[in-house]
Amino acid sequence: MNIEDIRLYCLSKKGVTESFPFNDTALVFKVAGKMFALVNLSNNQSINLKCDPDKTLELREHYSAVLPGYHMNKKLWNTIILDDSILDNIILQWIDDSYDLIVEKMTKKLRAELSRL
């Protein structure tokens, strides 16, 4: 999966913004000001995604391209190396899961505002 496909997919979700808050190679996607994805645009292209803590270790054991979240909370974040070893639809599902984890933690008011977008 390429970076532009990931970018467009993330931006297609309700209420998502993109920015470069850390440096010019770390593209961050947020919903309601909370990060759900960080894409590394350097030579070692990867994406960091939030993950259910019960699922993080399972994914790391099953996929060699899934590593503990680089510079992130290792219990909640995975880094996925974008090397074509994981099917695109699986990566898209993990993006959905990460986004949903953030939305689930929002207040009812914020979720209602998001649903109206």
3-115 maps to which CATH number?
3.90.1150.30
CA–CA separation, 65 and 80 (whole Å): 6
How far is residue 80 CA from its own chain's centroid?
9
10-37 confidence digits (pLDDT tens): 999 999 999 999 999 999 999 999 999 9
Q: Is 34 helix (H, G, I), strand (E, B) or coil?
A: strand
Q: Is 114 helix (H, G, I), strand (E, B) or coil?
A: helix
39-75 confidence digits (pLDDT tens): 999 877 999 999 999 999 999 999 999 999 988 999 9
pTM, two decimal places: 0.94
Domain ranges of the chain: 3-115
CA–CA separation, 83 and 15 (whole Å): 29
Sheet containing strand 66-68, edge to edge, reads 16-19, 26-31, 34-40, 46-50, 77-81, 66-68
Model pLDDT, residue 31: 97
